[in-house]
Amino acid sequence: MKMAVAGNQWAVGQGGFYSGRVTVDGRSVLDWVYDCGSSTAKSHPAREIRDYARSHELTSNASKQIDAVFISHFDADHFNALSDLAGTVHRVARVILPLVSLEQRLVHLLSSQTPESPQDLEDYVRFVVDPGQALADIFGQTTQVISVTPRTDFQTFAPTPIDTVEPIDTIPQEDYEQPLEFGISVEEGPGLALLLALRVDGRWEPLWELVAWTPLAKWPSREALLASVVSEYGLTGTDEALRLLSDSTWVLGVVRDAAARQRLKRAYEAAGSLAPGLSSRTNRTSMLLYSGPVLKSPWLSTWRAHRRSPRPASLLERCQIDPWPRKVAWLGTGDISLNHPSAVADTRRVLGPKRLGRVGVLNLPHHGADPDYPEELLRTGDLRPNVVVAAAGSNNHYDHPGRLSLFEPPRTGAHLVVVSEERASRWRSDVSLRRSP
Ligand SMILES: [Zn+2]
């Protein structure tokens, strides 16, 4: 039995769109997506989603679905193409996102580049103010929405025992001694793990795990922030403040108007939740995602990572990397600052050295921004990726990827790949695992 795991970083420009798929003997059994958005131009994610759905037969085959869409955080360039995705693929079973508070979500509106088109801006505000409703509008009621609570008390995630398994696919008997039954189990732990399991001798054996967790950013108390809004606007009390902040029409008015935006920023700054002169370089709450094997029985593996197009995107680049150590796992980091000691400690605690050691492809935090470069985490020696990917494109006024991302990876033996909006920059990694006889 051969299990293959393919990961694709799609060329959406400044933003993020990653897809993963597990196949067993050529049949797909698990599909997932991590972030789906771009601030470069809408046409790029639209094109990439089309190619993704087509190449994965997610439009033509009604029996195929995306099992999980993970959204790292509330910046538009990480989720603004979700409606495109919903309109293109047959079905999305569940969406998993971090459960951060309304006040925290609004920081993204105050601090990031907002869309120029009025409709896009309205969609963005609606999503941030009420993500549950926005997701129901996008995907319909049959898509389950799961929120992962940010926390600080992390422990290493143990993949077993499996509590409840939802059977998802069966490969019929003619090919094997008995039919192969696959299932998904969603386990709550220090975050959330989605396990792909195979039924062996009546028991579910986990094969592959997707572990998502959200480190808790340092944040003033809700009371302090609401009190500050009360005093800035001369309101009657925190109830009124909360009512205003949860009213998407009011928030839209604020975001549209420079002076009003400045005013709400002032309230946030007074409560200590935004540094004065706030830029995109603020440490934010982002949900990370690890994808890797949980294999007890003896499996042999191969690993290969390459541009999706046969030609390298530049003369300086290797077009394929595979003689390196077999590191079959992948780590996505959203826009978190992995330079922050608590985020480094949380990441090490949740994954443990074994999982970290398996990471072959690391998606650099925050599109390769210098202040968020995971220098500390790489220095611990647990994490030694073969490839680091910066998902950065044009319409990015932040100079992503930064100097550190450009020059540091080779020192740790890693190869930097920049995935932009150019088709030729798509990056793909393939893992193949075979059950030894
Ligand atoms: Zn971003």
pLDDT digits (tens, 9 = 90+) for 269-316: 888 766 554 444 455 678 999 999 987 655 667 767 776 665 555 545
| Most distant CA atoms of the chain, gap in Å | 73
Centre of ligand 1 to C-alpha 436, Å, is 41
Contact (CB, 8 A) for 54 and 90: no
Centre of ligand 1 to C-alpha 38, Å, is 8
d(CA 392, CA 396): 7
Centre of ligand 1 to C-alpha 119, Å, is 20
Calculate the alpha carbon distances from 420 to 93, 120, 245, 333 in Å.
29, 22, 35, 17
d(CA 215, CA 218): 9
13, 16, 45, 95: which is closest to 396 by C-alpha? 13
Q: Does residue 231 sit in helix, strand or coil?
A: helix
Burial class (CB within 10 angstroms; exposed 0-12, middle 13-18, buried 19+) of 194: buried
d(CA 391, CA 18): 10
Eight-state DSSP code of residue 83: H
Contact (CB, 8 A) for 366 and 332: no
113, 96, 129, 80: which is closest to 252 by C-alpha? 129
Centre of ligand 1 to C-alpha 225, Å, is 24
Cβ-based neighbours of 389, under 8 Å, separated by 6 or more: 9, 361, 362, 363, 364, 416, 417, 418, 419, 427
Centre of ligand 1 to C-alpha 335, Å, is 5
Centre of ligand 1 to C-alpha 236, Å, is 36
For each of the domains in the chain, give its residue range(s) and CATH number, in order of start: 2-100+131-162+185-217+291-435 (3.60.15), 222-270 (no CATH)
* Overall average pLDDT of the 91-117 stretch: 85
Token pair, residue 281, equals: 């370089």
Centre of ligand 1 to C-alpha 16, Å, is 7
Centre of ligand 1 to C-alpha 370, Å, is 13
Centre of ligand 1 to C-alpha 61, Å, is 32
210: left (phi over 0), alpha (psi -120 to 50) or beta: beta
pLDDT tens per residue, range 360-390: 999 999 999 988 899 888 888 899 999 999 9
- Residue 249: pLDDT band (50, 70, 90) is very high
**Most confident listed range (33-37, 109-113, 195-199, 374-378):** 33-37
180-194, 204-218, 312-326, 405-419: least confident range: 312-326
Centre of ligand 1 to C-alpha 27, Å, is 33
Centre of ligand 1 to C-alpha 75, Å, is 6
Ion ligand 1: residues, CB within 5 A, are 75, 77, 335
Q: Percent of the chain scored above 70 by pLDDT? A: 89
